[in-house]
């Protein structure tokens, strides 16, 4: 079967509208600029937030990155820390790493960065997160409904 992104968006939207968190996350993912589709960041944020609010760990982590890097939202360290913290509490290693590095820098144990969330998360694209997550959390990755 040929891949049909528009059909995938339609099905994800139907499932997401019924509260299915994985579909909400997948739909948000499809609106990201690097997805190869026409970027619609407000839609990406809307659907990723819905999934994050339901406890989807990848959505929580990526929403934290979006707040840290002003991607589709205004830059807000408090919001970034909140969402990264939620993902970290669920055992998501990348979120734990970012937050622990930030704490170490705040205590004076510098690793050569300023300790800002945008600097600590720079270069951590959502796609890299998806690839890593496919290896670590196969049940939560992009196409797994």
pLDDT tens for the chain, residues 1 to 145: 778 778 888 899 999 999 999 999 988 888 776 555 556 788 889 999 999 999 999 999 999 988 988 888 999 989 999 999 999 999 999 899 888 887 877 777 555 555 566 666 655 544 445 444 444 444 444 444 3
Q: What pLDDT was estimated at residue 83?
A: 96
Q: Mean pLDDT for the chain?
A: 77
For residues 92 and 137, what is the distance between their CA atoms, to the nearest angstrom? Answer: 9
Give the C-alpha separation, 122 to 3, whole Å: 31
Geometric angle at alpha carbon 100, from 82 and 136, rounded to 5°: 80
pLDDT at 143: 41
């Amino acid at each position: 079967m040929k891949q049909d992104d528009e059909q995938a968006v339609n099905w994800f939207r139907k499932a997401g509208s019924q509260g299915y968190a994985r579909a909400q996350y997948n739909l948000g993912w499809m609106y990201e600029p690097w997805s190869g589709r026409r970027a619609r960041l407000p839609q990406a944020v809307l659907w990723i937030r819905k999934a994050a609010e339901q406890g989807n760990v990848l959505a929580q982590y990526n929403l934290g990155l979006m707040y840290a890097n002003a991607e589709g939202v205004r830059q807000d360290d408090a919001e970034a820390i909140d969402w990264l913290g939620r993902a970290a509490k669920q055992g998501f290693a990348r979120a734990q790493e970012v937050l622990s590095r930030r704490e170490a820098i705040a205590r004076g144990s510098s690793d050569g960065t300023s300790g800002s969330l945008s600097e600590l998360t720079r270069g951590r694209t959502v796609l890299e997160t998806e690839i890593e997550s496919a290896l670590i959390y196969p049940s939560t990755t992009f196409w797994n409904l």
